[in-house]
Chain A
Amino acid sequence: MSSCGNPNVEADALMDRKPKFDRSKVCVKCKTNPGHIVIRHAVYCRDCFFPLVTSKFRKVLTPVINENAAPGLRIRSLRAAGNLTVGFSGGSASTVLLDLVAQNYLQLDSEASTKGGKDHPRKYEVIWPEANLCYVEISNAFQGMRDRTEEIRQVVNKYDAFKFVPLRIEDAFDPDWWSKFGYRPLASELELGLSCDTTTDDIFVSHSQSSSNSTPVSRLRAFLSSLPTQTAILSSVQAIVRVLLLSMARATGSSHLVLGTTLSSLSISLISGIAQGGGFTVREEVQEEWSPAAVEGDQSGVRKGSVRVVRPLRDIGIKECAAWAWWAKLKVVGREKIPHANQGIGALTKDFIVGLERDYPSTVSTIARTCGKLAPKDTSRLRCVLCQRPAQPGVQEWKSRISLRSFTETADHIQLLADAESKPARLALAPALCYACHTTLTSRSSRGVAANQRNDASLNQTSVPLPVWIAPFLKDFTRHDHVDGSSSDVVSSGEEVFRSRKLTTDDMRKEIGEFLIEEQAM
């Protein structure tokens, strides 16, 4: 239906490029110095740039430190409920974040405290008793990547206030690592059964029979290589890193996890998330409250002991971060390029937004502001076992209604299956996943990494290990055989009963009864 212009073929289809700055080359703030940087059409000098970025940073972080941190309240009353964890990637934004957090909230030297007024930020009480810097090394996920843990350690060692907590992505598949946080390992690990049958989107979990000799790295790689698209691999890496950071934040008694998401990267992750079906969690992309058990908070969703994820650079663009790092002479370790990452939706979105930002500098802020005005349509108590974010129920029904994949109409098509004789017990995982994670595990592409092997008719099902944290959420399934022989529940949560049903013709007929004139006449 759409019939408007295509900029690739029509020169007229492109709008005129706007000038880089509005008025003069003089700083808009002090109006005396020549400008050094253009931020969305406005020119700033170097002296004014630093306070500008600092104020944008503090404006986001300060109000969310505790419940009393409302605007206008005395700044000295700030005291967080727990410790601080900084999620660090080695990129320029997280390097700047580290610098800003250290300068504004952690460095309390005695000389500085004699300067300034009584409410000056230098006179803060200790806001967070401890500050940890968490870095997740992902080099073992892919071939040929460099381990940068030691380089990161050197950067962090320059800041006395931070304790370095290195993690590795394979920890997600290491039961010993998780047992440190109170997760009780199972006698056998869970594995994911991905059906290669394109007539269904069924995903099952079952007890693994053969993975006792495998290492966390091999399990991680088996999991990633089983995913059907590059997009799925990259999204899964992000999800694993996120859950590891959250779990470590919780384990270190942190009330806050701060991440170096800039305005640019926030816009990219918002659009990329929406393009992967994550519209229900658009709010969590900006800020979220997380606790490992099922979501049982008050109306605001805040749960005691939860970790608040804050992105204090969300009003600061990537260009400003790069300028800060350059002018402040910060050492940026940089991020390793993930092989074939450019084929994923995340990379495509990044190219698109960065390209658009060049011609329309307000784009990223418009995207972030627009998404900030959105809320999930329904409330849901269900939480995705994989990404640990709120999930809508009925994902599979929705998908099967709009994309018919089979003419067979089995009443209880998606259900708990237990075939004690020939197969290990299996549990349908799909109803415990959010839309985006379900899509990650099932959506195929003709150019996908695993497409060819999945289309091989000889393979009826591929079985791959699952991250360890998923097990406690599948309560009904995991209440048996712990290594210690007990049979109690793994966690007190997991109220969800994962059972759903595909609509039959009769169900559909009931729904359309008013349209069926013959039936009405009868």
Chain B
Amino acid sequence: MAPRTCMLCDKNRAMLKRPKTGQQICKDCFFVVFETEVHNTITESELFKPGDRVAIGASGGKDSTVLAYVMKTLNERYKYGLNLFLLSIDEGITGYRDDSLETVKRNQQQYDMPLKILSYDELYGWTMDAIVDQVGRKNNCTFCGVFRRQALDRGAAMLGVDHIVTGHNADDIAETVLMNIMRGDIARLGRCTSICTQGEDTIKRSKPFKYAYEKEIVMYAYFKKLDYFSTECIYSPDAYRGHARVFLKDLEAARPSAIIDIIHSGEAFEIRDEVKATQKSQQVCKRCGYMSSNELCKACTLLEGLERGMASAGITDRGRKKLEAEGPAPDNLRTIPFYKPPSASPTVAVE
């Protein structure tokens, strides 16, 4: 049978079947449509303006590796006028981050972008290994997730950037929509499909790969010969997310558009006004200055629990009450440095 020609250029031999559209296309056309779709996502949402300082959240995994490459490509091709940085968080998990941080360092050389690596140890005085030693494997994702979010913002503030872009892809977003519905997290459900989120004084966060299929990101890395590390976290018992992911893969197999369809659904609805009115208003953590819905932000609560040997304080109501019954926090408690919103000039030297 003669090889099929590309359905887009009608010239070259088709090299792949696009997971998103089912079209059989050539490698070059795939690069063009993939990059153009990301560009459309960026321009449609007006994510950046010329002169913006943008940090790419780089983990060394496939999404962030491809994101760094595509952001650099688009910035040059369409003259966005952005100053791009790489920002990595080292959670302190032995054997998990070591290789991927090497990838990030290599990206720094290849793409000529300044890199900042910020560790949990540096910021909180705790590595994830130490946290798991104390809390066990059951709730450690709570610590890691809360600490990472704040670490990214703080790292970005140190770099003096206006904007962080992360490699969250369409599969991640669809999965999060399903998860938030199933566990009734209405606040997160309302914002999880937004391409850009911004608190009152925090740095903007965006997901340019919002409509990019995970499979296509891998495909892009494969054809562009980008190397990355695919490392599953060794401390990951988040059963609910696991269930949602398996379900999503089944849906995608039944109908590939399911991923985009879920995102479209998530974009089509919002929280009813009367429910919005019952939501907690945003305030500032009295201890570290980071945005918070309570007097203390989640990271400070978790850290206090760790420091006082009651790790469940930030996880369950019972744990929090137990901590409160023990009396106020001692004066010499180790705390997170006070958060300073980004300024135009970086406060740390980058590598």
A residues near B (Cβ < 8 Å) are: 1-8, 10, 12-15, 198-199, 229-231, 270-271, 273-280, 282, 343-345, 348-349, 352, 356, 363, 366-367, 369-371, 373-377, 392, 398-399, 401-407, 435-436, 439, 443-448, 508, 511-512, 514-518
Contacts and interface: CB of A to CB of B under 8 A. Distances in A.
Given A377-B270, A516-B79, 10 more contacts: A1-B64, A1-B167, A230-B254, A343-B254, A352-B247, A376-B269, A403-B20, A403-B260, A443-B256, A515-B79
Nearest to B20: A403
B177 A274 contact: yes
Contacts of A435: 261, 264, 268
Nearest to B258: A275
Contact of A282 (B64, B261, B269): B269
B189 interface: yes
12 contacts: A4-B242, A5-B237, A6-B242, A10-B236, A229-B254, A277-B257, A277-B260, A279-B267, A343-B254, A403-B37, A439-B257, A445-B255
Contacts of B166: 1
Contacts of A401: 37, 40, 44
Contacts of B183: 366
B261 A277 contact: yes
A343 B254 CA distance: 7
Interface of B: 7-9, 17, 20-23, 29, 32-33, 36-37, 40-41, 43-44, 46, 48-50, 59, 61, 63-64, 78-81, 137, 141, 166-169, 171-172, 175, 177-178, 180-186, 189, 211, 231-233, 236-243, 245-247, 250-251, 253-258, 260-262, 264-273, 275
B172 A3 contact: no
A353 to B, nearest CB: 9
A434 B46 CA distance: 26
Contacts of B262: 274-275, 277
A363 to B, nearest CB: 6
Given A229-B255, A280-B269, A344-B254, A12 B237 contact: yes
A518 B78 CA distance: 10
B152 to A, nearest CB: 12
Contact of A373 (B22, B32, B254, B271): B271
A348 B247 CA distance: 8
Contacts of A14: 239
A235 to B, nearest CB: 10
B9 A515 contact: no
B343 to A, nearest CB: 24
A3 B63 CA distance: 12
Contact of A398 (B17, B48, B264): B264
A276 B258 CA distance: 6
A13 B37 contact: no
A63 B256 CA distance: 41
B255 A369 contact: no
A279 B41 contact: no
Contacts of B178: 271, 274-275
Contacts of B59: 1
Contacts of B22: 198, 444-446
Contacts of A12: 137, 237
Nearest to A346: B254
Contacts of A373: 186, 271-272, 275
A505 to B, nearest CB: 10
A277 B265 CA distance: 5
B43 A515 contact: yes
Contacts, number: 230
B184 A10 contact: no
Contacts of B61: 1, 3
Nearest to B169: A1
Nearest to B50: A517
Contacts of B239: 5, 7, 13-15
A376 B268 CA distance: 6
Contacts of B175: 2
A348 B253 CA distance: 11
Given A13-B239, A405-B23, A515 B50 contact: yes
B181 A371 contact: yes
Nearest to A15: B239
A345 B44 contact: no
A6 B237 CA distance: 8
A406 B268 CA distance: 26
B8 to A, nearest CB: 6
Given A282-B269, A512-B78, A515-B48, A370 B264 contact: no
Given A4-B238, A13-B242, A279-B268, A511 B258 contact: no
A443 B79 contact: no
Nearest to B51: A517
B237 A277 contact: no
Given A279-B265, A373-B272, A435-B268, A199 B23 contact: yes
Residue among A273, A349, A352 having the largest count of chain B Cβ atoms under 10 Å: A352
B181 A370 contact: yes
A1 B79 contact: no
A279 B180 CA distance: 14
Given A13-B236, A367-B182, A515-B79, A6 B23 contact: no
Contacts of A345: 251, 254-255, 258
Nearest to B265: A279
Contacts of B211: 402-403
A374 B269 contact: yes
Contacts of B40: 401-402, 404, 508
Contacts of B181: 270-271, 274, 367, 370-371
Contact of B237 (A8, A13, A443): A13
B9 A407 contact: yes
Contact of A402 (B41, B240, B258, B273): B41
Contacts of A276: 255, 258, 261
Contacts of A514: 46, 49-50
A6 B79 contact: no
Contacts of B267: 279, 377
Contacts of A518: 79
Nearest to B63: A1
Contacts of B189: 370, 374
B182 to A, nearest CB: 6
A87 B21 CA distance: 38
A7 B254 contact: no
A356 B178 CA distance: 13
A515 B184 contact: no
A279 B40 CA distance: 23
Contacts of B36: 404
